Amino acid sequence: MASATEHREPKHREPRPCEPRPCEPRPCEPRSYEPKPSDVLERFLRYVQVDSQSDPDNESETPSTPAQHDMARVLGEELRALGCEDVVVDGHAYVTATVPASAGAEGLPALGLCAHIDSTVDAPAAGVRPHVVHYEGGDLVAGVIDGTEVSTSSDQVPDLGQFVGQDIVVSDGRTLLSADDKAGVAEICALVARLGDDPSLPHPTLKIAFVPDEEIGHGAALLDLDKFGAAWCYTVDGEALGEFNYETFNAAEATVRVRGVMVHPGSAKDVMVNAITVAGEFERLVPAFERPEHTEGREGFYHPIQVRGTASEVTLTYIVRDHDASRFEGRQQVLRDIAAFLNGRHGEGTVTVELREQYRNMSEAFGDCPFLIANALEAHREVGIEPKVVAVRGGTDGSQLSLRGLPCPNIATGGYNAHSVREFVPVRSLELTVDLLERLVGKFSVPQS
């Protein structure tokens, strides 16, 4: 990690430094209105308007995009204005800060809260224009693009009917909303503001971390855990309100390279090995029904995500996922076995497979601290949310942090349709998540056992 310069600020509240950009009228806005925003809503609407999409084609640099520096600077200013101590915005767009403990909890282990600042590349993410819809049933319309409604139906999101009569934040339909994970960022900052406004609320020392490039598998890799100083941590990076995660996929990326033998096609018989043809053979041998579109729950998969090349050389990229460690190893072996079979047919060295582990199932990390799970479940119930423990079909920064020695379950943000222009988050879910975090940190204001 590059050296960071620490900034110490007095504990006082300054005017918030980042005002929302005004939204120009959009075709959907007759269905929108302007409610008086709560603190978390006001923060969320501002944060999503700061571009911060990551770039998987530049993953050798951290952050992978200059825009993430802009988001990091905004959050550094926000945390200083909230009176946080030890605020650091480093050269890799990591933002860290300390919230001092409440009276009587100063000697207890510090608790971390973490969210990521980048947005996915799976949908357009530049120029996010959020607005609030008062949902009255039927399809939830984000916007009208070229005469076509961008909407979500209850068939697509069965929970939608729960939100009739509520305010819901959507984009204008041209971009994702970036609730993944700026909802988590806003909820953490709103919690910090609430604790500053009411010193009677109990909590241990809190260590805040906002990290870049989670969407491309980097996430908290450069977070110096000794310097961070938390004994335990929670990410705030889930989806539907009430979902709680302490199990994720095991994850690997597979790079398959196919090298052909090229000669003039007029004299190619028994000599040419066309890399495109062999790559097609490889793809057909990967189990067809063990793909994301055919799996759910605890079923793992192989997912081809990129193909590029020519008749001379082709590169295929897959991601491999499974919750079970032995099945995860077995899936990687299947890809090696396919390569060996094709090399036997076309010649040694025609196909190579390179596997890179991305993260592990974080459930391995909680044997010595079951209270992390118990406290979170209890905090949900105390604010009227019945928790639902879900094994994540993906990963969080907590996957990486847990296996590095910082146990880190995941709290939901309340969002839906992540990685889509139909992404949305109910306002009440944002607000309840802040209530949940308040109860949760309060449980760490006494010794844990």
**Among all residues, which ones are annotated catalytic?**
118, 214
Residue 256 parent element (H or E)? strand 250-259
CB-CB contact of 399 with 248 (8 Å):
yes
Q: Which helix (H) or strand (E) holds 374?
A: helix 371-382
Collect all residues with Cβ–Cβ distance below 8 Å to 138 and sequence separation of at least 6: none
Structure tokens at 54: 């990551």
* 206-211/111-116 β-pairing: parallel
For residue 382, say whether it is annotated as part of any ligand binding site.
no
| 271, burial (CB in 10 Å: exposed 0-12, middle 13-18, buried 19+) | exposed
153-to-140, 167, 426, 430 alpha-carbon distances in Å: 6, 16, 15, 21
- Token readout for 50 is 């700061």
Q: How many residues does the chain have?
A: 449
Residue showing tokens 């697509």: 156
What are 22's two structure tokens? 């005004």
Burial string for 352-362 (b: 16+ CB within 10 Å, else e) reads ebebeebbbbb
- Is 122 annotated as ligand-binding? no
The single residue listed with the structure tokens 């949902």 is 135
Determine if residue 139 is labeled as part of a ligand binding site. Answer: no
The reply to whether 12 sits in an annotated binding site is no
State the pairing for strand pair 424-426/167-170: antiparallel
Select from 178, 129, 149 the least CA-distant residue to 24.
129
Please state the three-class secondary structure of 261-277 as a single string: ECCCHHHCCCCCECHHH
Beta-sheet pairing, 85-89 with 95-99: antiparallel
User: For residues 5 and 83, what is the distance between their CA atoms, to the nearest angstrom?
Assistant: 17
> Which single residue is written with the structure tokens 């120029």?
127
Q: Is 19 exposed, middle or buried (0-12, 13-18, 19+ CB in 10 A)?
A: exposed
Instruction: Tell me if 237 is assigned to a ligand binding site.
Output: yes
Give the residue ranges of the annotated binding site for Zn(2+). 116, 180, 215, 237, 419
